[in-house]
Chain A
């Protein structure tokens, strides 16, 4: 049984339908990537899993239980943490407080403590008392990842953690991924950068206009397949 699964997941914003029946699975310990063009529905998919957008109960299943209807705080308490698009640090909180609040709704113990996060991203320790928003983009992304890890999640959802960052910084951030996996978390990364996605994930899903257009392992999908799945057959 998959750890996390969506079944015919649909989502709408008012009259506008953003997702048309997404089926995906994530096994325990696995890392999957979701790729797709701007506006494809990647963020909508993660927000639906995380409970920010609430759907029908059976559309999202976690540990064999229907969770599609639960609010974000209850889903987080079950062990699904999200690094939201755009980082969304709390400006009124220091770096350390941003980390601490990551465990607010789930205190289960585990590998991730503030010290473990500082070990993963040493620069944050120096900046621990600064406001979260006084950091560089890459450092802020580290705080956002650390904040999500603080709940010792079983599933970590990462929405475009490389967005707007320089290549070396992206490398630094992705260098943390193996240790995150070692802590037992399964990972879903949403990426615009196909190269990065194929490098880190065991399987990739490509989404176009709210539908899965391609699914496979990095060594079985070709660049052409991806190009078609990304932009449609006409492109």
Chain B
């Protein structure tokens, strides 16, 4: 039976996918870099949160305050030391390098943590729910969705209301002319990837508290993220949220009809949107 309840669950799940996707969208929007290791970086952040919660005995939300800055540094360094070197007119080198990074991350996590399933524990919040009138919804999914909206609002504000955001957009338009304004494209790119990793850590928090994870689940998260970004229209942050919601709703509706159809329904929705709007729902005017 597909009721309001199913749709609401799907919308909230879409929040998680939007969180997966926001970092990818940000990095693509600024430097036209498709990071194939994005899903594995989410998993890495989940393990980092796990280590911080167990080692320091903190709850996952407090652990975020430790893990997020660490992920920022990892992202900044990755961009500065590795990815900046392969960015250029040819899009193949960054694809190869980030694919390689994906493999390396998965194997390193397998070495370090085995392939046992892990979980971040959020205590009583995990089972708490509220009555929205039309349906009972879990507090965690609600927080996930609220976080996705908050992240996108924050990124919008950063992009369109701050000096750093202006430098992001200018560098995305034309890095050489931006350097004439005193912008250092290499450090702008590093900062952007650092910020994407902050979002990745938030995504990891909700990924790890919602379900089990192990070192191999990154690539599937990458695919959902990709689909959300592409449905939404490349470079549009609100589009990314809309894209996440469409995938999420399709998956829960598909699962309600037949549990085996969950993933398939998401892919079909993706293809259907692209058939109608090949450039996504909210493509950026300038490319």
Contacts and interface: CB of A to CB of B under 8 A. Distances in A.
B180 A100 contact: no
A102 B170 contact: no
21 contacts: A51-B179, A52-B180, A71-B179, A73-B179, A76-B180, A76-B181, A82-B180, A84-B180, A88-B174, A91-B173, A92-B170, A92-B172, A93-B169, A97-B166, A101-B178, A101-B181, A104-B166, A104-B167, A105-B181, A133-B286, A151-B181
Interface string B159-181: 00001001101101110111111
Given A93-B169, A100-B166, A105 B174 contact: no
Contacts of B169: 90, 92-93, 97
B222 to A, nearest CB: 27
Nearest to B187: A73
B183 interface: yes
B170 A93 contact: yes
Contacts of B172: 92
B182 interface: yes
A181 to B, nearest CB: 21
Contacts of A170: none
B177 A151 contact: no
B85 interface: no
Nearest to B171: A90
B184 interface: yes
A101 B179 contact: no
Tell me what chain B mostly uses at the interface: helix, strand, loop, or mixed.
helix
A88 B176 CA distance: 10
A8 B22 CA distance: 50
A77 B178 CA distance: 13
B286 A92 contact: yes
Nearest to A102: B181
Complex A-B, nearest 4 residue pairs according to Cβ-Cβ distance, in ascending order: A105-B182, A72-B179, A92-B169, A88-B177
A154 interface: no
A73 B173 contact: no
A203 interface: no
Given A72-B179, A90-B173, A100-B163, 13 more contacts: A71-B179, A72-B176, A73-B184, A76-B181, A77-B182, A82-B180, A90-B174, A90-B178, A93-B170, A97-B166, A97-B169, A101-B163, A105-B181
Instruction: Name, among B167, B169, B173, B180, the residue most crowded by chain A CB atoms within 10 Å (CB to CB).
Output: B180
Interface string A94-108: 000100111011100
Contacts, number: 69
A226 B52 CA distance: 74
Nearest to A97: B166
Contacts of B163: 100-101, 104
Interface string A161-204: 00000000000000000000000000000000000000000000
Nearest to B170: A90
Contact of A91 (B167, B176, B286): B286
A124 B183 CA distance: 24
Contacts of A72: 176, 179-180
Nearest to A157: B180
A92 to B, nearest CB: 4
B18 to A, nearest CB: 22
A104 B166 CA distance: 9
Instruction: Name, among A50, A51, A73, A77, the residue most crowded by chain B CB atoms within 10 Å (CB to CB).
Output: A73
A104 B179 CA distance: 10
B173 A104 contact: no
Interface in B133-173: 163, 166-167, 169-170, 172-173
Nearest to B164: A104
A92 B173 contact: yes
B256 to A, nearest CB: 41
Interface in A15-56: 50-52
Contacts of A92: 169-170, 172-173, 286
A165 B179 CA distance: 26
A147 B170 CA distance: 13
Contacts of B166: 93, 97, 100-101, 104
B109 to A, nearest CB: 37
Instruction: Name, among B163, B179, B182, B286, the residue most crowded by chain A CB atoms within 10 Å (CB to CB).
Output: B182
B174 A147 contact: no
A81 interface: yes
Interface in A92-143: 92-93, 97, 100-102, 104-106, 133
